[in-house]
């Protein structure tokens, strides 16, 4: 069984959704019991994070524009 991306240390509830993992990271505590959460992955670096910027440039997804 794979390690869940986020788990509550207090009530042992596990979440497997990436969206929920991000939300729980923001919340910082278990929504059920308020216990401490254990994340499988380290938190993304803060500071220079730009939520509006795509992770890759459009031309990397769409291919090199034709000349």
Given the rule CB under 5 A, which residues bind Zn ion? 8, 10-11, 30, 32-33, 35
Residues 6/42, Cβ–Cβ less than 8 Å: no
Q: How far is the CB of 19 from Zn ion (least distance, A)?
A: 18
Rounded to whole angstroms, the Cα distance separating 21 from 39 reads 8
Greatest Cα pair distance, the chain, in angstroms, is: 58
**CB closer to Zn ion, 28 vs 51:** 28
Nearer to Zn ion, 9 or 60 (CB): 9
Choice between 12 and 60, CB closer to Zn ion? 12
């Amino acid at each position: 069984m794979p390690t869940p991306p986020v788990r509550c240390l207090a009530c042992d509830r596990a979440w497997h959704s990436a969206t929920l993992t991000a939300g729980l990271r923001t919340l910082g505590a278990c929504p059920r019991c308020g216990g401490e959460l254990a994340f499988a992955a380290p938190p993304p670096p803060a500071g220079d994070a730009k939520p509006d910027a795509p992770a890759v440039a459009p031309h990397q997804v769409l291919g090199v524009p034709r000349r």
